[in-house]
């Protein structure tokens, strides 16, 4: 449980980035709108979002598949640009969330309110977590490297590189404001919906013991992470959208990379186990 001591660094960073996001909108509306810069922002949003969902979440936090080191390093570099902490710290919080979902130890406990789960928990310092089991990540040299240099990597991949790329067509300021700050605001808000909206609105076809819900709307803006009820029931599965019609670009990316030998050992829940879970819920169990 949070000890309710304000984390002023997080508060100031969140406030400052959102303010710069407003400046970015004004820049596009009143100063310059460049399609190349807008495309850069969308591309950065996609790569960073995939690095959080496919890397931080499904690879590092849940170990649902394996990947060769260049992809893992790419996840860590571009995941830094999401400014959601290092993969090690992110995974520690997330594993606690799964172990104690909806309880006092859950960092983004939805029972404390929508606002708390969405963003409020970030405003307060994390208490010591002696029971966290992240020894596997601590032993990973790439994860340890990113954890040590996280702040520098966040600045380089989150702000400096988009600025430099925007300068190639004479819009370095747009690269900084739009692909840097505004993209980051949208990245935060879409990621935060997994902790809030996906525990508040949607269906529970696989499990009713936690508040997690499947939401196609949340999945649409989070690269497939919104099928949260399935994920909480079968967290070792590399998929979130398990039905053929469910939008889960992260699943498709990981699967496609497995055909090229970039990813391997994709963990999949047996179809019978999924069917039994649905039947149990449908029967009121």
On whether residue 277 sits in a domain, the answer given is no
Say what the pLDDT of residue 133 is: 83
Task: Note the pLDDT tens digit of each residue in 80-112.
Answer: 999 999 999 999 999 999 999 999 999 999 999
pTM beyond 0.75: the answer is yes
Q: Is residue 233 predicted with pLDDT exceeding 60?
A: yes
Say what the pLDDT of residue 132 is: 60
Report yes or no: 222 and 194 within 8 Å, Cβ to Cβ. Answer: yes
* Count of domains observed in the chain: 1
Buried b (16+ CB within 10 A) or exposed e, 27-52: bbeeeeebeebeebbeebbebbbbbb
Length of the chain: 285
Task: Note the pLDDT tens digit of each residue in 131-175.
Answer: 568 999 999 999 999 999 999 999 999 999 999 999 999 999 999
Say what the pLDDT of residue 126 is: 76
Residue 158 CB burial class (10 angstroms; 0-12, 13-18, ≥19): buried
Task: Note the pLDDT tens digit of each residue in 202-214.
Answer: 999 999 999 999 9
Q: Is residue 199 predicted with pLDDT exceeding 90?
A: yes
On whether residue 105 sits in a domain, the answer given is yes
On whether residue 171 sits in a domain, the answer given is yes
On whether residue 111 sits in a domain, the answer given is yes
Say what the pLDDT of residue 128 is: 61
Report yes or no: 143 and 87 within 8 Å, Cβ to Cβ. Answer: yes
Q: Is residue 3 predicted with pLDDT exceeding 90?
A: no
Please give the Cα distance from 120 to 114 (Å, whole number).
Answer: 9
Say what the pLDDT of residue 2 is: 53
On whether residue 269 sits in a domain, the answer given is no
On whether residue 182 sits in a domain, the answer given is yes
261: left (phi over 0), alpha (psi -120 to 50) or beta: left
Residue range(s) defining the domain that contains residue 39: 8-202
Strands (E), 91-171: none
Sign of CA dihedral 148, 70, 255, 189: positive
On whether residue 239 sits in a domain, the answer given is no
On whether residue 218 sits in a domain, the answer given is no
């Amino acid at each position: 449980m949070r000890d309710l001591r304000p984390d002023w660094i997080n508060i100031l960073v969140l406030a400052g980035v959102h303010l710069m996001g407003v400046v970015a909108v004004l820049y596009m509306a009143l100063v310059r709108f460049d399609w190349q810069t807008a495309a850069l922002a969308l591309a950065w949003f996609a790569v960073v979002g995939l690095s959080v969902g496919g890397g931080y979440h499904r690879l590092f936090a849940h170990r649902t598949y394996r990947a060769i080191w260049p992809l893992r390093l790419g996840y860590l570099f571009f995941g830094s640009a999401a400014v959601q902490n290092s993969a090690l710290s992110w995974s520690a919080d997330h594993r606690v969330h799964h172990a104690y979902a909806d309880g006092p130890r859950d960092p983004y406990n939805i029972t404390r309110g929508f606002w708390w789960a969405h963003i409020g928990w970030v405003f307060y310092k994390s208490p010591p977590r002696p029971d966290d089991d992240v020894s596997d990540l601590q032993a990973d040299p790439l994860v340890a490297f990113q954890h040590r240099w996280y702040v520098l990597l966040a600045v380089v991949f989150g702000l400096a590189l988009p600025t430099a790329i925007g300068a190639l067509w004479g819009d370095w300021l747009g690269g900084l404001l739009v692909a840097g700050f505004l993209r980051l605001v949208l990245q935060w808000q879409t990621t935060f919906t997994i902790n809030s909206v996906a525990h508040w609105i949607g269906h529970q076809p696989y499990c009713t013991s936690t508040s997690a819900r499947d939401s196609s709307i949340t999945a649409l803006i989070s690269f497939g992470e919104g099928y949260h009820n399935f994920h909480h029931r079968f967290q070792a599965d590399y998929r979130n959208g398990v039905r053929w019609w469910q939008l889960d670009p992260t699943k498709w990316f990981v699967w496609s990379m497995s055909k090229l030998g970039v990813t391997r050992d994709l963990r999949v829940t047996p179809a019978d186990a999924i069917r039994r879970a649905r039947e149990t819920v449908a029967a009121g169990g």
